Amino acid sequence: MRAQFPLLSRRVHAQPLVYLDNGATAQKPQRVIDAIESYYRERNANIHRGAHHLSQEATTAYEAARETVRAHLNAAHAHEMLFTSGTTAAINTVASAWGGANLNAGDEVIVSTMEHHSNIVPWQLVAEQRGASVKELRISRGGELRMEELDAMLSERVKMVALTHVSNVLGTVNPARDIIERAHAHGALVLLDGAQAAPHLRIDVRALDVDFYAFSGHKVFGPTGVGVLYGKEKLLDAMPPYQGGGEMIERVTFARTTFAALPHKFEAGTPNIVGGIGLGVALDWLAQLDAEALAAHEKDLLDYATAKLNAIDGVTIFGEAAHKACVLSFLLAGTHPFDVGAILDQLGIAVRTGHHCAQPLMEFYDTPGMVRASFALYNNRADVDALVAGVERAASMLV
């Protein structure tokens, strides 16, 4: 598995690279790298508009990638798959297009304490414009949603419940199906931020009955600058376009403009063509792997790393949910996370430090930041051992 990822053979500061920043972006298998190079070398052309052969080839490859995404999410229709620049753009599309058309004074949007900023700020922006409000669903100290509070918060005023499927800091896997059932019982829609779920879970949007689902290509071993927004057909059809420009129109006159059918209504301008194609290749590659074996491997890594870090005097791990993805955020008592991260970097160990775009969660735990080690399917116990040795060295130097 590791041999398929060229960058993992690098050395950093004369040390073998131990890459544990997968929550920020995952590395790319050679197959994806080859697909990107092949596109630019052999079929680079704009899509949908050209009558020439290169354009037709590029269009076919791009739309084949859309079908791959549909299959990956088990959606009903390929036109329910909107290509975006990432999870952030996908959530902003829903907040602006759906929220701008459907939220009114007195309406409420529920988000949680553990949300990434990209699933808080867009809702605050549209709520302020529309006279609605954003309500916080709190979490337990162990990092799980307070489901009893969700029940108390749900009412006819709640129009949207926007939650992360998997926390980027705590690794908590939220009970998505249960949340959706409860929200739908009160007439509310549900958007799931799947940026951290997509690399670790098999997603079935129809089984979940989720209304909107967003994820980023670069976290599932695909290129940067591309992502997906899934939306139920009837909801997308009813939403106004998010942006105007080429490609998304049916007819333009100075009197009136009519818009193209899904998905093109939401894909103004020349898209990230090679990004979409590369994402399709990444998802095809991922689909060929043994999902159960990967889940078992990641659980082993998580359990092993949790036990090893907990054995270090002064380490506190945040996030003790019963269901977790392979993410560990921690602090070393008496140190600043940036200092720990800097020492690990000198040892060739790549982790993330800071507030992880989750400042409300940092405030909840009364800390300015944490050290986060996030694992992917190509990591192994040797990577964990290197991390543990690095944290022990940081403790000897800083405490």
Query: pLDDT tens digits, residue range 4-47?
Result: 999 999 999 999 999 999 999 999 999 999 999 999 999 999 99
% residues pLDDT > 70 (the chain): 100
Q: How much is the pLDDT for 49?
A: 79
> What is the mean pLDDT of the segment spanning 107-136?
98
Q: Is residue 344's pLDDT more than 90?
A: yes
Query: pLDDT tens digits, residue range 165-187?
Result: 999 999 999 999 999 999 999 99
> What is the mean pLDDT of the segment spanning 38-66?
95
Quote the mean pLDDT of the chain: 97
Q: pTM to 2 decimals?
A: 0.97
Nearest by Cα to 268 from 87, 129, 97, 73: 97
357 is catalytic: yes
Q: Which 8-state DSSP code applies to residue 260?
A: P
Structure tokens given for 258: 């009519």
**Cα–Cα–Cα angle for 64, 69, 73, nearest 5°?**
145
Structure tokens given for 382: 């040797």
Domains of the chain, first to last: 2-22+291-398 (3.90.1150.10), 45-287 (3.40.640.10)
Query: What CA–CA distance (Å, rounded) separates 136 from 118?
Result: 15
Q: Which of 357, 362, 389, 398 is catalytic?
A: 357
Find out whether 387 and 351 touch, Cβ atoms under 8 Å. yes
